[in-house]
């Protein structure tokens, strides 16, 4: 389902904003295990995956692809191997303040914020014990609004695009990504009654 409040002109404005942050985002290195490229390149690869797997005119999900990792600008920390990690980057920035130039209504900013905040949730279902699945998925349901503008299948599909939107030189990372995608798809089917 398209979230039509995000238009092509909104998307282009966000793309220009990302381009203005290119040097900062390019300076943020990726996680070697999951993706080798810097954050700017990862963002652009994910947007390309989204463009290929969703309706190309769905500017909501394409905009989410552009901004889903912006929180890494505010959350970088060194890891034990001398690289960087970004704990809490999903909630590391505020959409309304960052993208105020879009002049959306508050509830529209809230929809985008929820989607960005939860963009990793589709990857984590396989870690939840079966007896906790129903409780955990109540968190997903807050993404559904009365008008159905954000839905769980879209979130799951985006999580897969996020995983696929990466170049990996680490063979273990490639194998793990493939297994994770399979697990996400399997868990979605197994838990469909709780998720949608």
User: What is the pLDDT at residue 193?
Assistant: 56
Q: Which two tokens stand for residue 190?
A: 């197994």
* 42, two tokens: 């990862």
DSSP 196: -
- The tokens describing 44, both together, are 């652009």
- Asked if residue 107 belongs to a domain, the reply is yes
Cβ–Cβ < 8 Å for 195, 188: yes
Q: Read off the pLDDT of each residue in 57-65 and give the average, rounded to a whole number.
A: 89
Q: What is the DSSP letter of 31?
A: P
Q: Check: CB of residue 148 under 8 Å from CB of residue 1.
A: yes
Structural domain contains residue 101: yes
Measured at the CA of 117, the angle between CA 115 and CA 123, to 5 degrees, comes to 85
| Number of independent structural domains in the chain | 1
Distance CA 137, CA 33 (A): 27
Instruction: Write down the pLDDT at residue 148.
Output: 47
Position 3 in a domain: no
Of residues 187 and 158, which shows the higher confidence score? 158
Of 30 and 117, the structure prediction assigns the larger pLDDT to: 117
Answer yes or no: are the C-beta atoms of 60 and 2 closer than 8 Å: yes
| 13, part of any domain | yes
The answer to whether residue 2 is domain-embedded is no
Residue 144 lies in a domain: yes
- What's the pLDDT at 192? 58
Contact between residue 46 and residue 130 where contact means Cβ atoms under 8 Å apart: no
CATH number at residue 175: 1.10.3210
Higher pLDDT, 147 or 175: 175
In the structure, what pLDDT confidence band is assigned to residue 35 with cuts at 50, 70 and 90? low
Single out the residue of 48, 51, 54 nearest to residue 2, CA to CA: 54
Model confidence at 92: pLDDT above 50: yes
With a cut of 90, say whether residue 36 has pLDDT above it.
no
Domain-located, residue 1? no
């Amino acid at each position: 389902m398209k979230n039509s409040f995000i238009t092509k002109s909104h998307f282009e404005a966000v793309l220009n904003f990302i381009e203005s942050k290119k040097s900062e985002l390019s300076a943020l290195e990726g996680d070697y295990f999951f993706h080798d490229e810097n954050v700017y390149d990862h963002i652009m690869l994910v947007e390309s995956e989204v463009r290929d797997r969703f309706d190309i005119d769905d500017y909501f999900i394409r905009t989410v692809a552009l901004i889903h990792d912006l929180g890494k600008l505010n959350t970088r920390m060194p890891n034990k191997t001398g690289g960087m990690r970004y704990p809490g980057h999903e909630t590391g920035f505020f959409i309304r303040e960052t993208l105020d130039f879009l002049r959306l209504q508050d509830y529209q900013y809230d929809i985008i914020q929820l989607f960005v905040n939860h963009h990793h949730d589709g990857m984590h279902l396989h870690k939840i014990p079966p007896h906790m699945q129903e409780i955990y998925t109540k968190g997903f349901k807050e993404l559904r609004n009365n008008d159905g503008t954000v839905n769980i299948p879209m979130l799951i599909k985006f999580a897969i695009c996020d995983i696929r939107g990466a170049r990996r030189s680490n063979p273990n990372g490639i194998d793990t990504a493939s297994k994770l995608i399979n697990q996400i798809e399997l868990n979605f089917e197994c838990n469909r009654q709780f998720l949608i």
